[in-house]
Amino acid sequence: MVLFYNCKGPQPRNYESPAMNCPQDWPEPIIRVQSVSETGASEIPNRYVKPLSERPIHAVNSSEDVNIPVINFESLFKGDDNLRRKTLNEIWEACRDWGFFQVVNHGVRPELMDRARETWREFFHQPMEVKQVYANSPKTYEGYGSRLGVEKGAILDWSDYYFLHYLPGSLKDCKKWPAQPPSCRQVIEEYGKELVKLGGKLMKVFSINLGLEEDFLQNSFGREEIGVCMRVNFYPRCPQPNLTLGLSSHSDPGGLTILLPDRVSGLQVRKDGRWITVKPVPHAFIVNIGDQIQVLSNAIYKSVEHRVAVNSAEERLSIAFFYNPKSDLLIKPAEELVTPDKPALYSPMTFDEYRRFIRTRGPRGKSQVESLKSPR
């Protein structure tokens, strides 16, 4: 569930990127993981084999009775004050202790969720020449891709993806969205509108639970000038799933992520030093805190490491929806949450500056947000 740094050249003033070197192309030829999988080979190429310490072993199996919290979002709006307080507390504990939760009865129609997932699955099963029209580059990351970071010789993840911008309007370019299948662009637009609404509701709840005005986090993100993007992850079948990962361990660099998972498990969340395999609830979204909200909350809320395991029997597809700050705003701990006993833990930084790290180096655990901590 990683997002990307945008470097499109001249932008409207409010979304201007800092000066930096933007590679025009990948350091090595791109090989689509789906194409590798479809060869039927019994071994994966060395470029996907993770070091022993990073392989998906020692995880709590999805058959065990442990899962991230599941929260009924509808309970916040039923008029029962006791039920509302109980639900607010459940979200508070999930943000503080897990950094992740699943939300049901969230207001997004189940049929739209199913249609979005199956439309994107259909895209990834289009002929390669259709998909290659949208091949991306590290200059913007928009489009059809197969790697993160521009480090030559890096060990790669077992996944392909499609990345696109939804907001702000200055970055939204529907021509960069797939034209096949024919319904794809319409589905993206409809799905995006509904997820922006849900993201706004979640931001209010997160603010209230911090003891802040309900619009605090939204205002800190730029009010209506937020950044929203989408990454659709495709994890083909893998003949040696114990040697690789669909997505390496990382915390999300943005604000808030709303994930539409597949019915097939694969997402793993780090909790108390163990990797917990998330068991998706039908028609639930998986919500997780990103680094920017961890910073704004002065680490009351936690952005948590997560990764994706793959399997040999079934492909997987998920849709990650990123709700982010306006790119040139300074993000720092809320003054209301800074006290003599708990001083500001992080130095101010714009989101553009922050996400440059993952664009160049790829996912690296929580090393980026930890490096932002103010010196004592």
Q: 3-state class of 180 per DSSP?
A: coil
pLDDT at 362 (0 to 100): 54
Q: Is the peptide bond before 181 cis (omega within 30 degrees of 0)?
A: yes
Looking at the chain, the whole-number percentage of residues with pLDDT higher than 90 is 79
- In degrees, rounded to 5, the angle at the alpha carbon of residue 312 between the alpha carbons of residues 308 and 316 is 45
| Category of 176 on φ-ψ map: left (φ > 0), alpha (ψ -120 to 50) or beta | alpha
Q: How confident is the model at residue 149 (pLDDT cuts 50, 70, 90)?
A: confident
Range name among 11-20, 128-137, 163-172 with the lowest pLDDT average: 11-20
Q: Tell me: the pLDDT tens digits for 259-318? A: 999 999 999 999 998 999 999 999 999 999 999 999 999 999 999 999 999 999 999 999
Q: What is the pLDDT of residues 57-74, one digit of tens each?
A: 756 554 467 899 999 999
Query: What is the Cβ-side half-sphere exposure of residue 265, based on CA atoms within 13 angstroms?
Result: 16
Contacts of 142 (CB under 8 A, 6+ apart): 136, 163, 164, 165, 173, 176
User: Do the beta carbons of residue 284 and residue 74 sit within 8 Å?
Assistant: no
In the DSSP assignment, the letter for residue 214 is T
Q: DSSP states of 331-374 as a string?
A: E---GGG--SSS---B--EEHHHHHHHHHHH---BTHHHHHTBP
Stretch 352-364: mean pLDDT, rounded? 67
Beta strands 285-289 and 100-104: pairing type? Answer: antiparallel
Q: Are 366 and 303 in contact (CB under 8 A)?
A: yes
**Whether the predicted pLDDT of 355 surpasses 50:** yes
| Residue 340 pLDDT level (bands cut at 50, 70, 90) | very high
d(CA 56, CA 246): 10
The pLDDT of residue 58: 58
Confidence of residue 10 (pLDDT cuts 50, 70, 90): very low
Quote the CA–CA distance of 99 and 250 in Å, as a whole number: 13
Which of the four pLDDT bands, split at 50, 70 and 90, describes residue 7?
A: very low
In this predicted structure, the answer to whether residue 54 has a pLDDT above a threshold of 50 is yes
